Amino acid sequence: MKILKTILPTAISLLALSACNNSDTAATNTNASNQNDSAQANTAHSKNSMLPDVKDFQQTIDGKQTNLYVLKNHNGMTAAITNYGGRLVSLVVPDKNGTLKDVVVGFDNVNDYTKGADTYFGATVGRYGNRIAKGKFNIDGKPYTLAINNAPNSLHGGNKGFSRVVWDGNQLNDSTLVLTYLSKDMEEGFPGNLNVKVTYSLTADNGLKIDYQATTDKKTIINLTNHSFFNLNGQGSGTILNHLLQINANKYTPVDSTLIPTGKLEPVAGTPFDFTKLTAIGSRINDTSKMQLKNGKGYDHNFVLNGSGMKHAATAIGDQSGIKMDVYTMEPGIQFYTGNFMEGAHSLMGGSKDEHRTAFCLETQHFPDSPNQPSFASTILSPGQTYKTTTIYKFSKQ
């Protein structure tokens, strides 16, 4: 699947750039007002729910105000999102008995999200989600060098990717939040002034819809995703190894010992990577005879999704809760990660720890290291083009 881009007339492109750029004083004042209004409207709600307190997310970081925004739909589904890193903090949905469960692993205050180099919990990841080999790539023969923050590679946008910046937030209504950010030319080594817009919305059928959009004034690379950690039995409920999972992919991209794709697309049939039917996550995860599982210390691999356009990518089911999560995306791949590097180093909301394999990720994406893999779909975005992609996490009962 080719990267989705819409060529716009010059005048419309300039308007889009202007709309995304919140650097002017009027836009800043408007956003500040929206943040304050949202905070006042949501404080009472968050105090009397499973969600964290809005006040614990109101800080000044890098000279900008952070906040917590609460979204809800008419079915009782709620989501809490902070503009620090564009992060999904909580996602509360009913289980098979109608009991509300928070299915996203997160913290109850913004300060805990700022600690540790590896805390991608719930984050909007960019400019480039996943790994770039040795932190190097070329565009039209010109070399670019990124920070090596996952030796020997660059991971998730570098030392300070989109997960560690303060976005401008504008809550449009009860169920929709728009986040915007201007990533300046050569920020973290990436070329071009990139205007990014991420829209979170809760749908009437209990979906969390994430729309991504970006424009640039210089040819660059882009691969945006969301890095939420899920436990469908509820945050703090223990292992995810008994969850059932189906991934609609007949192939995956095997990796080397540093988790960079080899460039091959290998069939999943007859391997521990075959999730074409509902299978317990832990049923084959400890097959130490398989080098790929050794390389990732479990599952930390990109799957090549079947089909094109908007498609059903995956289904996960909590074995205790009966909560079913269906993932739909326009992206060609999905990274399945089983919390192999979670070591209980962080205290989460409710007092639980991020213990080994107590959460999993399904990150929709273009393939890792695509800028260095000619056989993979391009992730280049040029001036005059608009990057657009959508992912939906839809919840129901089994």
Q: Which residues are catalytic?
A: 227, 363
Residue 187, φ and ψ in degrees, nearest 5 = -60, 125
Contacts of 158 (CB under 8 A, 6+ apart): 146, 147, 149, 188, 189
Q: DSSP H helical segments within 54-179, as ranges?
A: 110-113
Which two structure tokens, joined as six digits, stand for 370? 């695509």
Closest CA to 87 of 57, 111, 59, 123: 123
239 burial class (0-12, 13-18, 19+ CB within 10 angstroms)? middle
Residue 128, φ and ψ in degrees, nearest 5 = -125, 105
What residues form DSSP beta bridges with 123?
Answer: 227
**Residue 46 is inside which H or E element, if any?**
helix 25-47
**Looking at this protein, which amino acid is placed at residue 143?**
P
- Positive or negative, the Cα torsion across 364, 112, 169, 56? positive
What residues form DSSP beta bridges with 78?
Answer: 72, 92
Is residue 227 a contact partner of residue 120, using CB atoms and an 8 Å limit?
A: yes
Contacts of 255 (CB under 8 A, 6+ apart): 261, 262, 292, 295, 296, 300, 301, 368
**Looking at this protein, which amino acid is placed at residue 323?**
I
- Positive or negative, the Cα torsion across 265, 267, 268, 272? negative
**Looking at this protein, which amino acid is placed at residue 331?**
E
- Residue 270 sits at the vertex; the CA angle it makes with 269 and 273, to the nearest 5 degrees, is 70
**Looking at this protein, which amino acid is placed at residue 124?**
T
Q: Can you tell me which residue has the tokens 């910046």?
A: 165
Query: What is the β-pairing status of strands 136-139 and 249-253?
Result: unpaired
Half-sphere exposure (Cβ direction) of 103: Cα atoms closer than 13 Å: 32
Which two structure tokens, joined as six digits, stand for 139? 């565009």
